[in-house]
Structure 1
Amino acid sequence: MASDVDTAPLVGRADLLREVRSALLDDLAQGHTAAVFLTGESGVGKTRLLREVSTRLREGGALVLTGSCLDIGDASPLHPLLQALRRFDAELTAAQARTSSAVRGLLQMFADETAGPDGAGALLERVSRGLHLIAEGRPLVLVLDDLQWVDRSTRQLLLYLLAGLGDLQLSVLAAVRAESLQGAHPLRRVLTELRRLRSVRVRDLMPLDRADTEQLAAAVVGRPLAAEAAEQVWRRSGGNPFVIEELARDLRDGRDGLSDTLREIFLARVDALPQHAHAVVHAVAAGVEPVDHWLLAQVVRLPEQELIEAVRAAVAHRLLVSADDGYRLRHRLVAEVLQDELLPAERSGLHRRYAEALTSAEAELHQARLAHHWRLAGEPARALPAAMAAAQEAERLHGYAEAHRHWSAALHLADTPTGGPLAVDRAELLGHAAEAAHHSGEHARALALLEDLARADGMSSCALHIRRARYLAAAGRSALAETEYQRVLEAPDCTPRERATAAAHLAELLLHLGRYADAGQRAREALDLAAVVEGSTTEVVLASSALGFSEAYLEDPDAGLAVMRRALATAERSGRPEDVAFAYLHLAELLTGPLNILEEGVVVARRGAERVAELGLGRTWETRLLAIATNGLFRVGQWAEAEKVVAAALRHRPSGADAVELLLARCRLSVGYGDIEAADRDLDAVATVLAGGGARHVIPLLTLRAGLAMWQGRHDLARQAVQRGLTEIRSDDVGILAALVWHGLRAEAEAQASRTVAVDETAVRRLRDVADRVARKSEKAARPVRDVVDGFLALCAAEVGRLNGNDPELWARSVVEWERRNHPYPAAYSRLRQAEALLARRSRVATAGKLLREAYQVAQGLGAVPLMSEIKTLATRARVALDEREQPGDRDAAESRPADDELAVLTAREREVLAAVAEGLTNKEIGQRLFISERTIGVHVSHIFDKLQVRTRVQASAIYLRNGRG
């Protein structure tokens, strides 16, 4: 099974390619022989690797002869060598007459030998001499494919030449299909003999790993695969390149089902098995992997020794994998192929034997497997209790995704006709399934199940409103969620517990909407209601967290923090996963946001992420906490670390509000880095999810949209985004409002500077009015909140000054404000503008140069390319050297820098990328290693080139190696 060389790249074989070439050419002493035998299952890429190595060997000056063995026994002596010589002769030109004569002489010798052989020894010696003449002193490499079918004469020739009996510098590269070397296959003895020679290497070609599988599939499809499609290709292919390419082509062309090519190939491999091994593979294909040996024995019902031999044969044919925990198919695709080959009665019989064996086992029941096998055996009534037990066990272990799957299976079983009533309440199943879907991040599914539950009249209207509100909030539909909670609080027939629950959750929701005063009011109401309700720990935790946040923001930070820490302690004592998650989330939000205690906030967020992951909430609450950590790291200038955190969180593939938090966090990094396309994509995704979202999400979204538009030179779009935020969204969060106002005033100043869009004087007046209102409103907030707002107001005042002559003193005050708060990015931006104002007045040029150098150093450290570009443009125009050691145009100074200083300009992430570039990895390969997109890697590489003042990857790699990093 050779894959099409012209349609797919060689993936995951770079190290082996270098090793094989080196063994056959570079490491070979003059006059010696060497050989590399590549073994592996069909389709693993042996033939492709032979071609790639052959190309590189020819480029290295070797004479390469290529041939293939045929599956016709000894009917064609020395066939692969004859084929190789004929191919080589056909490629020779008139200018190579001497070589052509030697080749034809050797071919004629073969013809004469066929007419009247002189004995094997004489033939081998003449072949050796003939090859020596053809090589003309060059290294000779004989490349043989499908060596498992090698004829006896060729086997003898290989042994003769590799033993050094011929006067020839020869290398042999051959591929062997591993599953064909069964029993007393003659090549097994040959390889055993050859392994004893120090110059011979046998390498087993393994399947691709997951990252390489995704890379190869994406190359065939022509675009990155969706997570679900990538998972399916990986699971079905087992990393076999041929299978990956076939599946990817089906994806690309929109074909459903399995291709006839794959089906026939795998059927042929299964049919080649001995009878008992054939039965074993069918049984494992029907099982849930891994299949324990004792379980397989009860299903196939073979004597122990015969079972072991059958398993051994299936493993040798590369269809089964044996491990300590049981047996697995090497490719799950085999199960799909065999599924269609069995009669329905055969399939149900296998599943029945599995179910009976599991039921009779003395060990603890495997409920999930039991449910699976009883269902496929056609016994839904016996499968249903097992599915419910499996779901309950998964919930006990906080495996909510597993629980969701099992509850869904139980629902399906409950709806399956059985000929009699089932002892189960369908409404109860719907309730469990909806809650499991919510906890596992499947918010749309949870809402759909809840609507089914409402139609089934399985719960009170108040309880239904509360659940619907929780699911809507998690899905990012905050306005609708608020309405549902209000209905509970206004309904006269709701119980005190339901009212306490609604008030507590509403308080928590109002925090996310940025309405802190309202949140505090609802929190107090919830605590009063919970005081008369037993077992209301969850309500107390939620309300206390909301109240503490509100008090810390509006009144007393220390008192509010104390309330929130007590709420966290209460949540930890209760042990309920969502309580713990709520408490960690709001404490981390408060520290990294309004209170600006960034370092502690990042620690709390990461500690909370680890804790909720232990509690089974990785896809939901862990991603939110990691988003908070990312934002904190961004603000303190640790962008490379922030990028790692957000990449780790995205591996959970979050949805709803969880995805919004994370995408906004990643977008901040993309805007800062200047990765416009990635930022635009994330903003579009957030806007799609945020139907009815609150200020805590929508205002940052619009602020980022404005910032991105300004880097694109679209000042009109930036103005529109800011105006929308000021007119449509209500929020008590003066911090995010102040940031939005700054972006609006900055957009007007940028418009004036660019002369492409007229300044909107009405918009400026309105923005100044809003800034004044924010200033007055912040006076009632806690001191840390006022500090953050003061920083943005300083930027606002300086942008207004920029519109009216650009006062450098206003920018100097902004620098002080942001330096004091340890926010390097706005401080660097303010230095740039201060220098611009000084240079415009032609005063204090030396001070301006110093400011530009300081700003450039910070921007370089962050990797903030758009900001760096602005700084460099101004420095060039003003003839200011950004490196104090050189003047503009002075390259000698740059070349005389100490070598150990050359990489100092790179960020930690850029050094990681450069190390991978020096290894020869592509952007896609680097992205897979570092868990970030290929496009982001391209941005990093551009930054590296700019900072190191190089144009190519080779030049950048040379600097890396020169600095002793290799």
Structure 2
Amino acid sequence: MASDLDTLPLVGRSDMVATVRSALLDDVAPGQTAAVFLTGESGVGKTRLLHEVGARLRDAGAVVLTGSCLDIGDASPLHPLRQALRRLDATTATPDASAVRALLAVFTDGATGPDGAGALLERVSRGLNVIAGGRPLVLVLDDLQWVDRTTRQLLLYLLAGLGDLPLSVLAAVRSESLQGAHPLRRVLTELRRLRSVRVLDLGPLDRAATGQLAEAVVGGPLTPEAAERLWARSGGNPFVVEELSRALRDGCDGVSDTLREVFLARVDALPQPAHAVVHAVAAGVEPVDHRVLARVVGLPEGALIDAVRAAVDHRLLTGSDDGYRLRHRLVAEVLEHELLPAERAVLHRRYAEALTAVPGELYQARLAHHWQLAGEPARALPASVAAAREAQRLHGYAEAHRHWSVALHLAAELPDANRAELLEHAAESAHHSGEHARALALLEELAAAEAAPPVCEVHIRRARYLAAAGRSALAEAEYGRALAAADCTDRQRATAAARLAELLLHLGRYADAGERAREALALAEQVDGATSEVVLASAALGYSEAFLEDPDAGLAVMRQALATAERAGRPEDVACAYLHLAELLTGPLNICEEGVVVARRGAERVAELGLGRTWETRLLAIATNGLFRIGQWAEAEKVVAVALRHRPSGADAVELLLARCRLSVGYGDVEAADRDLESVATMLAGGGARHVIPLLTLRAGLAMWQGRHDLARQAVQRGLTETRSDDLVILAVLVWHGLRAEAEAHASRTVEVDDTSVRRLREIAERVARRSEGAVRSVREMVDGYLTLCAAEVSRLDGSDPELWARSAAEWDGRNHPYPAAYARLRQAEALLARRRKGATAGRLLREAYATAQGLGAVPLTREIHTLAGRARVSLEAPAPAPTAAGAGADELATLTSREREVLAAVAEGLTNREIGQRLFISERTIGVHVSHIFDKLQVRTRVQASAIWLRSRT
């Protein structure tokens, strides 16, 4: 079962190729023999490996003879050797053509009979010795399971050293063929005793290598769904991977005729009881318990064990403590079409009856599956409902949604089923598992049903689902309808007000959110058991107060809301409390390090509660943003990668894509950033300023790195129309990008400066400054930082002011935001050089900015620094340190202890304090102390600056 050896890359086998080559050449003493026997199931890639190793052995100067055994028993003695010699004779690089032909003549002189066997082996040995001519000789044999008796004798003769020939043997054997008393089993047993013989089992490819091979066949990347399905169906068998990938490339997802015949032939080769066992396992839900299988196939214990053993030996089944599995799930697809519908129904009925009868835990999901396929919907429905409720109890919302959906399908065949209840559960589980469009569709069907919930309840649910889908404007309107509904109870009013407060908070309308939160808390006091409403409203109120009035008081309210949520244990409440607390810390309050810790801790917690695709994703997006601000971009990338595995949708996807786009813009990855921005724009139908303004800000930043200052201007102008937000920080960032675009246009001379736009932006900056005067200190400081950048950008229009840029760099250093600090240093150096003064200061500033930009991986910023340094003839290499009291050329790290150096090395890798503590077996708090001491000794303020010193010391 060989694949195309010429066109496809060898994946996942590099280590095995190196091992085999070394065993046959490097590890063999002069004059000694060696052998490697590769075992493995059909299609696992043995032939390809023989080909690759043979090529490497030839490159190393060995004489390589390659042959294949035939499935015709002893009818052709020494066939593989004769074939190998004929191939060698036909090549242009034949080492000694006359010696090859002389050895071929040996096989036709009548010495092949039983009486002449010993003489034949001796003559063959001498002939091979002549052909080798003192060089290493390797005999490569494929399909050794079909080897003839004479060749077996020759191998034993030569490998035992009887032929006085330094021969190496590389052979491939199909594992499933070595059954019972197969003669090769005895040969391998004998050969294993020799130290120079190795038997290596070639396993299937792992998931990553399977994906690589599939993409090579298809000619491009696979979707995650297609890659996962291909992995599950193929089991990593390269031949199966190639066949499935070719079908996928040709637009077909079925099983090719080649694969079907291959697997059917393997199943048909089984004894009849084993044949029945494989059919039964194929119809079951893996792993199939031994006791259940016994009831399904109806075999006595001894006969069942023999049958299972035969299936395992033929590499069709695998067995473990928890039951039996097919080695390739593709076998189930093939065998499904070999049974009549009535036969399949009988098998599934037997499974259902066996699952009910066998003592132990009853797997309701399996029971529902088998009753459904047995054609018994009335018996399958209660099992599906039980499975769904069990999944919900364990917070497995995706699994619960699948079971509720099955229950809905079954209910369609049962007129007495309570379809409204099933719709209600299915919609809610879809919402929790991130299937927001599906949740909305099910809710609409529920609202149209005869037994529909009250109008107010439908409005609240619709609003929740719309908000999760990112359609914020429609969600806000739905909450308004719920509060105005005539049938709205006090409990529902409290719920609607609390959730509306949360939505307004998400939109950046903090004052409105605080007002609605107070209303919700007042309503909740009149209702028993309104814990969820209290948690949601408290989180919104705390955020509003922390942003607008008193950070300490607001944080206290939010921490209390989190504690209340944890005590109550409702997953969505816990997630919401973590989310808003992390958001506040990493955003307006600029306590980024703590915010990142809270976000990651919250992500772990909500993952335990089954909300990985939704709330965990959003929390990881917040952690990414915090890590980006403090300059830990490499760590932020890892967090994004983890979050993307959930394949989020709706508002969750928007948050994550915006976070990833910030990194892409910083790195200068234009294509990736543009792709994410387009995706976000598509999903933001009805989105508010909270998302729209960052989206347009990122679009402006990306356009500026591309030199398209007119597009940057347009993006900023569109963003200025989004005024319904109390978040002065994101507005200040947008204004900075607008003024920067005009300054860049002025500097590049490619686009005329828009004086009207500049005037409008300055007016908005002044308005933001006035509004920030009443904000809390942390918010005011963040706004001031961006307004300082705004003022400095304005100065570039008529001669850049170095002092404004120096002030900006100092402010951002103080806030531990390395990227804007490095940008400000670049502009300060540019202004100094333009005024032709303080060249040494400009050089120092460029070097500091360069070290930071390189540490971050900020390619466009690094490029700008390089360009300016080149024009000014400034070296970006750090100058040699001046002599100190400790002596000239003192090491920058000389003041650090050995432990502090270990900590600094880990900091330079981008590890958090917690991760460093785990690596060095120290508490996180102690690591924090070490980091503080390092900062003091190196006289730096940020981890990026400290990392730059460490990296400089290693060069």
TM-score for the superposition, normalised by structure 1: 0.91
Q: Distance in 2 between matches of 1:252 and 1:886?
A: 59
Please point out which of 799, 818, 826 is paired with 1:824.
818
Partner of 1:107: 104
Q: Does structure 1 residue 857 correspond to structure 2 residue 851?
A: yes
Work out the CA distance in 1 between the residues paired with 2:858 and 2:724: 32
**Of 878, 886, 910, the match for 2:872:** 878
Q: After TM superposition, give the deviation of residue 867 of structure 1 in Å.
A: 1.0
> Alpha-carbon deviations, 1:484-507, whole Å to 9, x = none?
111112223311211111111111
| 1:316 alignment partner in structure 2 | 313
Shift of 1:796: 0.7
The question of 1:845 aligning with 2:842 is answered no
Counterpart position of 1:455: 448
C-alpha deviation, 1:6, in angstroms = 3.2
Which residue is equivalent to 1:304? 301
Give a deviation string over 1:289-314, Cα, whole Å, max 9, x none.
Answer: 00111111111111101100100110
CA contact (8 A) 1:8 1:245 kept: no
Q: Secondary structure at the match of 1:727?
A: coil
SS in 1 for 2:366: helix
Partner of 1:443: 436
- The equivalent of 1:263 in structure 2 is 260
Look up the SS of the partner of 2:721 in the other structure: helix
Q: For 2:294, what is the secondary structure of its paired residue?
A: helix
Partner of 1:927: none
Q: Aligned AA for 1:201?
A: R
**Uncovered stretches (5+) of structure 1, i.e. residues with no partner:** 888-896, 912-946, 949-958
1:884 Cα deviation from its structure 2 partner: 2.8
Q: Letter of the aligned partner of 2:53 in structure 1?
A: V
Change (3 A) 1:907 1:532: closer
Partner of 2:938: none
Task: Tell me the distance in 2 between the aligned counterparts of 1:673 and 1:374.
Answer: 55
1:502 and 2:500 aligned: no
- 8 Å CA contact 1:640–1:908 kept in 2: the answer is no
SS in 1 for 2:141: strand
Q: Answer whether contact 1:519 1:547 (CA < 8 A) is retained.
A: yes
Maintained 8 Å contact 1:284/1:327: yes
Asked if structure 2 preserves the Cα contact closer than 8 Å seen for 1:860 and 1:907, the reply is: no
Per mean C-alpha deviation after superposition, the further-off stretch among 2-11 and 189-198 is 2-11
2:189 corresponds to: 192
Deviation at residue 362 of structure 1 after TM alignment: 2.8
User: CA–CA distance in 1 between the matches of 2:113 and 2:269?
Assistant: 39
Q: Which amino acid in the other structure matches residue 811 of structure 2?
A: E
**Equivalent of 1:157 in 154, 158, 164:** 154
Q: Secondary structure of 1:65's match? A: strand
Secondary structure of 1:119's counterpart equals helix
Give deviations 1:32-75, integer Å, cap 9, x for gaps.
11111111111111111111111111111111111111100011
1:680-709 alpha-carbon deviations (Å, 9 max, x no partner): 111111111111111221111111111111
Stretch deviating more after TM superposition (128-137 or 262-271): 128-137
Q: CA deviation at 1:677?
A: 1.4
Per-residue deviation at 1:728?
A: 3.8
One-letter amino acid matched to 2:191: L
Between the aligned partners of 1:495 and 1:528, the Cα distance in structure 2 is: 14
Query: Is 1:31 paired with 2:28?
Result: no
> Counterparts in 2 of 1:606-645, with a 5 A limit?
606-645=600-639
CA contact (8 A) 2:630 2:817 kept: yes
Is the Cα contact below 8 Å between 2:692 and 2:722 reproduced in 1? Answer: no
Letter in 2 for 1:135: A
CA shift, 1:197, in A, is 0.8
CA drift at 1:463 = 0.7
- The answer to whether the Cα contact below 8 Å between 1:92 and 1:100 also exists between their aligned partners in 2 is no
Alpha-carbon shift at residue 544 of structure 1 (Å): 0.7
Shift of 1:963: 8.5
| Residue 702 (structure 2) aligns with | 708
Paired amino acid for 2:763: D
Native 8 Å contact 1:694 1:729 kept in 2: no
Shift of 1:114: 5.9
| Aligned-partner Cα distance in 1 for 2:908–2:248 | 38
Q: Distance between the aligned counterparts of 2:749 and 2:134, measured in 1?
A: 72
Q: Is 1:247–2:244 an aligned residue pair?
A: yes
Corresponding residue for residue 954 of structure 1: none
Describe the shift of the 1:830–1:905 C-alpha distance in structure 2 as closer, same or farther (beyond 3 A). Answer: farther
The answer to which of 180-189 and 213-222 deviates more is 213-222
1:395 aligns with 2:384: no
Flag the 1:211–1:107 CA change in 2: closer, same or farther, 3 A. same
Work out whether 1:15 is the aligned partner of 2:15: yes
State whether residues 862 and 907 of structure 1, in contact with CA within 8 Å, keep that contact through their aligned partners in structure 2.
no
User: Is the CA contact 1:861–1:907 (under 8 Å) kept in the aligned structure 2?
Assistant: no
When structure 1 is superposed on structure 2, of 829-838 and 757-766 the one drifting more is 757-766
Which of 589, 594, 597 is 2:591 aligned to?
A: 597
Q: How does 1:280-291 map to 2 (within 5 A)?
A: 280-291=277-288
Aligned counterpart for 1:737 among listed residues 710, 731, 742: 731
Q: Deviations over 1:75-104 (max 9, x none)?
A: 1111111111111111125xx5x6111111
Match of 1:751 in 2: 745
Q: CA separation in 2, counterparts of 1:492 and 1:776?
A: 43
1:513 paired residue number: 507
Secondary structure of residue in 2 paired with 1:112:
coil
2:291/2:358 contact within 8 Å kept:
no
Q: Please report how far the alpha carbon of residue 447 of structure 1 lies from its aligned counterpart in structure 2 after TM superposition.
A: 0.9
Say yes or no: does 1:413 pair with 2:410: yes
Match of 2:482 among 485, 488, 496: 488
CA shift, 1:118, in A, is 6.0
Structure-2 change in CA distance of 1:561 and 1:905 (3 Å): closer
1:906/1:106 CA distance change after superposition, 3 Å: farther
CA distance in 2, matches of 1:781, 1:490: 33
Query: Identity over aligned residues, as a percent?
Result: 79
Aligned counterparts of 1:80 and 1:334: Cα–Cα separation in 2:
33
Q: Is the 8 A contact 1:585 1:605 kept in 2?
A: yes
Q: Deviations over 1:265-296 (max 9, x none)?
A: 11111101111110100110111100111111
Q: Which secondary structure does the structure 1 equivalent of 2:875 belong to?
A: coil
Structure 2 spans left out of the alignment, 5+ residues: 882-891, 912-946
Q: RMSD in angstroms over aligned alpha carbons?
A: 2.3
Q: Distance in 2 between matches of 1:300 and 1:694?
A: 61
C-alpha distance in structure 2 between counterparts of 1:909 and 1:217, whole Å: 33
Residues 529-608 of structure 1 correspond to what in structure 2 (within 5 A)? 529-608=523-602
Counterpart of 2:44 in structure 1: which amino acid? V
Q: Which residue of 2 aligns with 1:953?
A: none
CA distance in 2 between partners of 1:905 and 1:609 (Å):
27
Residue in 2 that maps onto 1:926: none
Partner of 1:44: 44
- Per-residue deviation at 1:474? 0.6
Cα distance 1:61–1:487, how it changes in 2: closer, same or farther (>3 A)? same
Moved more, 290-299 or 714-723: 714-723
8 Å CA contact 1:612, 1:618 repeated in 2: yes
**2:327 aligned with 1:330:** yes
Amino acid at match of 1:494: C
In the TM superposition, what is the alpha-carbon distance from 1:575 to its structure 2 partner?
A: 0.5
Q: 1:238: Cα distance to partner?
A: 0.8
Q: Secondary structure at the match of 2:2?
A: coil
What code does the residue aligned with 2:693 have? I
**For 1:705 and 1:120, how far apart are their aligned partners in 2?**
82
Tell me which of 481, 492, 517 is aligned to 1:523.
517
Counterpart for residue 425 of structure 2: 432
Assess, with a 3 A threshold, how the Cα gap between structure 1 residues 506 and 348 changes in structure 2: closer, same or farther. Answer: same
Name the CA distance, whole Å, in 1 between partners of 2:618 and 2:111.
77
Q: Deviations over 1:12-49 (max 9, x none)?
A: 11111111111111222211111111111111111111
* Residue 453 of structure 1: how far off its partner (Å): 0.6
- Structure 1 distance, partners of 2:111, 2:714, is 87
1:111 is paired with a residue of what secondary structure?
Answer: coil
Corresponding residue number in structure 2 for 1:77: 77
Secondary structure at the aligned position of 2:83 is classed as helix
**What are the within-5 Å matches in structure 2 for residues 165-184 of structure 1?**
165-184=162-181
Alignment partners' CA distance in 1, 2:260 and 2:318? 20
Once the two structures are superposed, the pairs formed by residues 87-166 of structure 1 within 5 Å of their partners are: 87-92=87-92, 99-113=96-110, 119-166=116-163
